[in-house]
Amino acid sequence: MAEYYNYIKSLHLIFVVTWFAGLFYMPRLFIYHIEARDKPDAAREVLSSQFRIMEKRLWYIITWPSAILCTLFALGLLVAMPSWLSQPWMHVKLGFIALLFIYHLKTHQMFLKFQRETFTYTSQYMRIWNEGATLILFAVVFLAILKSSFQWLYGLGGLVVLAVLLMLGIRLYKKVRGR
C-alpha cells in the first residue's frame, strides 16, 4: 500500500477540492434562488426552475460523489499510514471532518427544501452559512500540513480571528449592497 501512497494522496486532494467547490457554490445558488423570489412572476418561475436544475446537478453529480471519493481515499491514506490514528493532531482533524459531514448533511437538508421551493432561510443567513465550510477548510488544511508542530492555542486564536473577519466582511458587503 505504501507504494501507492502518493497516488492515493493526490486523488484524495483532488476530491477534497471538488467537494469543497460544491460546498462553497451550493449556498451561493441558494442565495440566488432566495433572491429570485423578488423578481416578477415570469422571471421568478424561469429562475427558480433553472436554480433547481443547477442545484440538483451540482449536488448529485459533483458534491456527493466528491465527498464519497474523498472519504474513500482518506481511508486509504489511513490504511497506508495507520500510525496517524494515534497522533493528537489527527484526532482534532477527524473532529473537524465530523463537523464537515454534519455541515454537508445539513446542506443536504437545505437542498431538499429548495428543491420543494420551501424557503425557510434568508439570503443573509445563507451568506453566513457559506462561511462554515471556509472555517472547516482552514482548520483541516492547517492540521494536515503542520501536524504535531501545530500550536493549538495559536491555531484556535487564528480560527476565531478568521471567523470574525468573515463576519465583518459579510456585514460590510451588506452595507455596500444596501446603497
The binding site for heme comprises 12, 93
Say which residue the cell 423578488 belongs to.
38
For 35, counting Cβ atoms within 10 Å of its Cβ (0-12 exposed, 13-18 middle, 19+ buried), the class is middle
**Is 16:70 a contact under the CB 8 Å cutoff?**
yes
How many residues does the structure list for the chain?
179
Say which residue the cell 501545530 belongs to.
150
Please state the residue numbers annotated as binding site. Answer: 12, 93
